[in-house]
Structure 1
Amino acid sequence: MTPSWRKPVGAFAIIALIVIWCVAVASLSAIVGEWPVLVQLVFYVVAGIVWIFPLKPLLRWMETGRWWLPRD
């Protein structure tokens, strides 16, 4: 079995996604820091979870070469 080029490219894409997301959220910290503490908590919890959603299709592509599951 020959190694697939998708896995290293996908790993790089995951790292890039995490870095871009961290920079985006951190750039909002001055604005978010002025919000009430409970609103900040909700924002950071949501921001900490949302970045995971693009990973499922990316991981599927890394394994199968398809972004979406075929419809039967």
Structure 2
Amino acid sequence: MVPRLRSFIGTFLIIFLVVIYALAATTVATFMLATSPWWVHFLYFLFSGLLWILPAMLIIKWMAGPRPPRS
């Protein structure tokens, strides 16, 4: 696949990932943490705020394409 097309597709995948993940994380927090103390909210949003990085790293790795062989 052409690197420019791979980057174009990857950019939209990351945007889609962030939007869907933010909606899902906020929905879970709204329904599950409504009566929880502040520190539970803090830990949840700290963890969920960092968790989206893992799938984003996979998309970025895919966008970079295959590694050239070492000589």
Identity %: 29
Q: Which has the higher helix share?
A: 2
Q: Which runs of 5+ in 2 are unaligned?
A: none
The answer to which structure, 1 or 2, has the higher relative contact order (CA under 8 A, 6+ apart) is: 2
Q: CA RMSD in A?
A: 1.8
- State the match for 1:43 in structure 2: 44
Most deviating of 38-47 and 56-65 = 56-65
TM-score (norm 1): 0.78
**Residues paired across the two proteins, number:** 65
Whether 1:33 aligns to 2:34 is: yes
TM-score (norm 2): 0.79
Code of the aligned partner of 1:35: S
Structure 1 stretches of 4+ moved >6 Å:
none
